[in-house]
Amino acid sequence: MSASSATALPVRFAIDGELTIYRAADVKSQLLEALRQAALLEVDLSGVTELDTAGLQVLMLAKQVAATDGRALRLVGHSPAVMDVFEMLDLGAYFGDALLIHSAA
In total, how many domains does the chain have? 1
pTM of the model as a whole: 0.84
Tens of pLDDT along 54-99? 999 999 999 999 999 999 999 999 999 999 999 999 888 888 766 6
Helices (H), the chain: 24-36, 53-69, 80-89, 92-95
**pLDDT confidence of 105, banded at 50, 70, 90?**
very low
* CATH number assigned to the domain comprising residue 56: 3.30.750.24
pLDDT at 9: 81
pLDDT at 99: 61
Domain of residue 58, residue span:
11-95
In a domain? residue 71 = yes
Q: Which amino acid is at 54?
A: A
Tens of pLDDT along 11-47? 999 999 999 999 999 999 999 999 999 999 999 999 9
pLDDT at 95: 84
**pLDDT confidence of 3, banded at 50, 70, 90?**
very low
In a domain? residue 85 = yes
In a domain? residue 1 = no
| Sign for the pseudo-dihedral over CA of 34, 25, 49, 72 | negative
**pLDDT confidence of 4, banded at 50, 70, 90?**
very low
